[in-house]
C-alpha cells in the first residue's frame, strides 16, 4: 500500500504500464524505490488512473514461474482510490492495528 502520483501511462501489448512516483509507502512487503512501474493486466483503463493524479494504491508483487519477471501488479479489481487526507488517516490507523 502506497501513495503515488501517476507520471505517465503506456500501453505495452495487452497491458498498461504506469510510471508512478512513490510518495508515501505505508505498508510494503517488498522494497519500493522513488519511481516504480505499476502494471495493470488490461488496456481498458480499469482501474481509471489519470496522469498527474495522486492515488492510494494497493498492489502486489508478481514474479512469474521462471522467476524472470518481477514487477508490481495492480489487478483490475485492485484498490486504487484518489488520495485524500482522509485516506491517509485511515491507512495510518489501519497500519497501527495490523
Q: How many Cβ atoms are within 10 Å of 9's Cβ, its own excluded?
A: 14
pLDDT of residue 12: 92
- pLDDT in the model for residue 88: 80
- pTM exceeds 0.85, yes or no: no
Alpha-carbon distances of 65 from 14, 26, 62, 68, 70, rounded to whole Å: 19, 28, 10, 8, 10
Confidence of residue 98 (pLDDT cuts 50, 70, 90): low
Q: How many residues does the chain have?
A: 98
Backbone angles phi, psi at 44, to 5 degrees: -85, -5
Fold (topology level) of 2-96: OB fold (Dihydrolipoamide Acetyltransferase, E2P) (2.40.50)
Q: What is the mean pLDDT of the chain?
A: 86
Domain layout of the chain by residue ranges = 2-96
Amino acid at each position: 500500500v502506497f501513495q503515488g502520483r501517476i507520471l505517465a501511462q503506456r500501453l505495452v501489448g495487452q497491458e498498461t504500464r504506469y510510471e508512478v512516483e512513490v510518495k508515501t509507502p505505508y505498508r510494503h512487503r517488498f522494497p519500493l524505490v522513488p519511481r516504480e512501474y505499476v502494471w495493470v493486466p488490461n488496456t481498458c483503463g480499469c482501474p481509471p488512473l489519470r496522469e498527474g493524479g495522486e492515488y492510494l494504491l494497493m498492489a502486489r508483487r508478481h514474479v512469474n514461474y521462471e522467476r524472470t519477471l518481477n514487477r508490481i501488479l495492480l489487478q483490475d479489481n485492485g484498490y486504487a482510490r484518489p488520495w485524500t487526507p482522509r485516506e491517509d488517516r485511515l491507512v495510518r490507523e489501519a497500519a497501527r492495528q495490523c
